A and B are shown apart, each in its own frame.
Chain A
Amino acid sequence: MADVVSTVEIATASQAGMKALGAGIAVGLTGIGTGVAEMGIGSAAVGAVAENKDMFGLALLFTVIPETIVIFGLVVALLLLF
């Protein structure tokens, strides 16, 4: 009987652990995705702004568009954890 109780305990604990892992993976991978996406846009944007300062607003806009990806990751992680 004691064995059954501890098995259930282990199962719940590992479930919680899996959730935490999932949350971590969600944020981490989406972070990488955003980073990769912003890499190209960011360098081009800096180049454009160096040529013409008026481009700053537009450049910032384009650069932050992939931010949404990591926000989705964060949302998923938060929903998993709480």
Chain B
Amino acid sequence: MLTPKKMSRLLIVASKDQLPPVIKELHRFHRFHIDDFIAGGRAGYEGFAIGTPLAGASEASSDLIKVRSIENTFSIQASDITSAEKRNNADLRAVIERELPVIEREVSALNAERSKLDAAIKDCEQKIAEITPFLSIPADLSLYSGYEGFTVFAGTVVKDVQIPEPAEYEIVKKGKAAAFMVAVVPNRQRGDVDRVLSDAGFSPVTIPAESGMPEERIREYNSRISELKANASSLAKRMDALREEHARFLVACEELLKADIEQAEAPLRFATTEQTFVAEGWVPSDTIAEISRRLTEATGGKAFITEIPISPHDTVPVEYNNPSFAKPSELFMDIYARPNYTEIDPTLMLSIVFPLFFGLILGDAGYGLILLALCFALRGFMKGEDGRYFLAVLRNASISSIIFGLLYSEFLGFELPWAPIMFSRHLNIGTKGGEGGSGPMIPALMIMAVWIGILHITLGRVLGIINHARQDHGEHRIKAVMANFGWLLVMWGILMIIWSMFAMPYMPDFTKLPVIVMGLNAAAILGAVMLVLGVLFIARDSPLEVVELPTIISHVLSYARIVAVGLSSVAIAMVVNYISIGMLIGPQLEHLTIIGVVIVVAGVFVFLLGHAMNTALGILGGGLHSIRLHYVEFFTKFYKGGGLKYNPFGLKRIFTED
């Protein structure tokens, strides 16, 4: 449970004519992690070459490209399609050749039509944009072009212009923007007018090649656009119908073709000679018997299958081996790093401790319920495996947050009808006023956080000892184990010394012990001995590590964030309540006036907005800080990670079956 799934190394050797059945069976079984053969890469494989793909790979590839392009046009995604009955592979293969080209033709015809319509609509809109400036001048558009002896200027000017006779011009000014002007100028005067206009900041517009009054033309184009849009929407309906009809078929095709290609290209990962092939890979140890039986059946006993011993230099693929409760937390492990094969897999601990930390930080029944509702609401939108895992983690965290909310007696920053069962976090804000209510028990909370830190770090160091004992060899092994033990000694030694000097609530009190020597009592002396011994153990493994000693204190104190971040969220909630309740009750409800109603509405708004913001901050604060405590304070004590992901050959079939 605390280690990855046990793997075995498997060797499959057979003659080349057994390739297709072997590959097919491995693909179907979906457990065999292929160790890719690299030419000249592995000792003992001299004279072997990479295999060649099976027949049909390129046809399947080109079909797959077709299927994907059609899916793209329709924006079909396999994850959107639910409850499809599985289609038989052989049936599907028979119809692919027949139906795929037909669908492709239909789709490309529709697509061409759609882009033609789109282009026509764009064209009309462009024309309207061109005509619009001329609306302000009541003249037929055909009058602006077609002259030999005259030049027409049309455009905007930023300054007023005076164009000398005999040119005709018209300036229309609208508001503060640049004025629109049109001028008809005899060709010989053109140079002068050009100069005058460029002084006035003239920027020309295209003269539309149209005839008729501008309003009429725009009206005409608008009616054309609505006609085209009607066409486009009927086309979209037709495409939707087509999509509805073929979506299932297309995703099934994609799955089948993908499987075909994977299988056809598998020999590229095997070592082959002229007559034989060798496939090496990894399977979970408990499936060896099953895979051997299946392969023997598929090849009629013509394949040689054997388990070969794991050498220390092998990179063993790592598959988690967790109870279903802890599975979702693998998401957080993969973000950090997958465990090594020989390492302790802390997923189970993370899956228990993370929700506890989250609840301790965001211990509020109201926010917990909001998050729980959010989890169920998001279920429809996050369908992938990662999404489901994330929601499961959030669900556990919010349940823990509700439980701690009941213990802390908090609901959206209000007090529940009972006194806090655990340490109180209620701040003296507003209505609580300080008298009567139980103020926050800061020292007690702090000490609780420090205790959590001490225990969590001790657990981390113990795991570190186990990891080093399992992974290392020879002298280094003893040194590394001792160093980890040394870190523990130093931490507990410092604690002993502190306890012997100061009496603290919820902590052992050694101050009353009889003084033995130099004002130190037994506990202090024991602590000092532990500290010195610990430093020696650490220095023996690596003297440089000694500079890291202060992290013992900073890491333990870092757990104070459980209290600090939690209190800040309590404070925000209480301030929001104080402000909004003040706006809601106050004098407004007694003498209801219009302004009073406005203030009450504003109060409700402040209440909703404030708590929405605090919920978001709560997820960030609770989640990020809890996971950080794991990544930085816990994992650095023992966890290395960097294992290879177990990626078995084959795929999860959703739409097809044999």
Contact = CB atoms under 8 A, between A and B. Distances in A.
Contact of A75 (B336, B337, B557): B557
B440 interface: yes
Nearest to B563: A78
A82 to B, nearest CB: 4
A57 B338 CA distance: 11
Nearest to B558: A68
A75 B565 CA distance: 10
B593 to A, nearest CB: 37
Interface stretch (B11-19, B316-324, B495-503, B624-632): B624-632
Contacts of B563: 78
Interface in A27-71: 56-58, 60-61, 64-65, 67-68, 71
Interface string B555-574: 00110110111011000000
Contacts of B567: 78
A20 interface: no
Given A56-B335, A57-B631, A60-B335, A78 B554 contact: no
A2 interface: no
Find the residue from B557, B558, B564 having the highest chain A CB count within 10 A. Answer: B564
B631 A71 contact: no
Interface in B614-640: 624-625, 628, 631-632
Contact of A74 (B335, B564, B628, B632): B564
A78 B564 contact: yes
A78 B628 contact: no
Nearest to B337: A57
Given A57-B337, A60-B631, A64-B632, A82 B558 contact: no
A79 interface: yes
Interface in B508-542: none
Interface of B is mostly: helix
A82 B564 CA distance: 13
Nearest to B627: A60
Contacts of A79: 442-443, 446
Contacts of B208: none
Interface residues of B, number: 23
B456 to A, nearest CB: 15
Contacts of A56: 335
Contact of A57 (B335, B439, B561, B568): B335
A60 B635 CA distance: 14
Interface residues of A, number: 17
Contacts of A67: 561, 625, 628
A67 B443 CA distance: 21
Contacts of A64: 624, 628, 631-632
B554 A68 contact: yes
B609 to A, nearest CB: 24
A29 to B, nearest CB: 16
Nearest to A80: B442
A75 B560 contact: yes
B211 to A, nearest CB: 56
A60 B554 CA distance: 19
A81 to B, nearest CB: 8
Contacts of A74: 560-561, 564, 568
Contacts of B446: 75, 78-79
Nearest to B445: A78
A28 to B, nearest CB: 14
Given A68-B558, A74-B568, A82 B442 contact: yes
A72 B564 CA distance: 9
A65 B561 CA distance: 13
Interface of B: 335-337, 439-440, 442-443, 446, 554, 557-558, 560-561, 563-565, 567-568, 624-625, 628, 631-632
Interface of A: 56-58, 60-61, 64-65, 67-68, 71-72, 74-75, 78-79, 81-82
7 contacts: A57-B336, A65-B632, A68-B557, A71-B558, A75-B446, A79-B443, A82-B442
Given A64-B624, A71-B564, 16 more contacts: A56-B335, A57-B337, A60-B335, A60-B631, A61-B336, A65-B632, A67-B561, A71-B558, A71-B561, A74-B560, A75-B564, A78-B446, A78-B564, A79-B443, A81-B442, A82-B439
